[in-house]
Structure 1
Amino acid sequence: MSKVVGRWRIKWMEMWDQDFVDLIEPGYFQFDEDGLGFFVFGAVEGQIDYRIPDDGGRVEFSWSGNDDGREKSGRGWFQFSSSNSAKGELFIHCGDESAVEIEYQT
């Protein structure tokens, strides 16, 4: 589980430019040791519940949170391309979806 634990900076999102991603603060995903975490980008924030499949090369998560104060939820995943970068998808339930690239920070 330690491969994913830490803060991952959002480097690119297909649906939103970096100015929006970093609107309130630099966009990130945080994965904690207990299988939970948090993310922020633009006016969207969410609490994460994640799992790592047996192969360890991927993390899958569901999330609940808000978009500018409106309740939202969804799911997503990341595939690790190295020890410090990953690519994946974020899905908003009944809404947008976006490819995402993240980079390990701490």
Structure 2
Amino acid sequence: MSRPADCQILGRWRIVENDTWDDDCLDLVDPAAILFEPDGRGEFAFGCIQAGMDLEYGRTIVFFRWAGCDEGDEVTGSGSAEVTDDGALQIELSFDNADEAVLTARRE
């Protein structure tokens, strides 16, 4: 893994699409977004889900464990985010209860 300074993913990204829920529900509570910090932490929010992340960096990919809440219920999981050829961010999100989602984000 690279040092965080080498990572192209650092910063805030706006989540614009997903493969699981209606795209309209992404901004249900707040604008859907994901944030990657250089200190190994991050956070995301979309729909009714809000979570914090612990990150491991590569140059164009980040792996993470996450924990948060979904409509007041505790949820946890893992995931990855990778820069695609068109400059978008593809986020693969796995819930520990076996649900999975793929989200697309654009740099803010």
Same fold (TM over 0.5): yes
1:21 aligned partner: 26
2:96 aligned partner: 93
Deviation at 1:66, TM superposition (A): 0.5
Q: Which runs of 4+ in 1 moved over 2 A?
A: none
Q: Count the aligned residue pairs.
A: 103
> Sequence identity, in percent?
31
Counterpart of 1:23, as a letter, is L
Deviation at 1:95, TM superposition (A): 3.9
Deviation at 1:65, TM superposition (A): 0.4
* Larger mean Cα displacement after TM superposition, 3-12 or 60-69: 3-12
Q: What SS is found at the alignment partner of 2:84?
A: strand
| Structure 2: stretches of 5+ with no match in the other structure | none
1:69 aligned partner: 72
| CA distance, structure 2, for counterparts of residue 42 and residue 103 of structure 1 | 17
Q: What SS is found at the alignment partner of 1:24?
A: coil
2:42 aligned partner: 37
Please report the TM-score for the alignment, with normalisation by the length of structure 2. Answer: 0.87
| CA distance, structure 2, for counterparts of residue 78 and residue 47 of structure 1 | 14
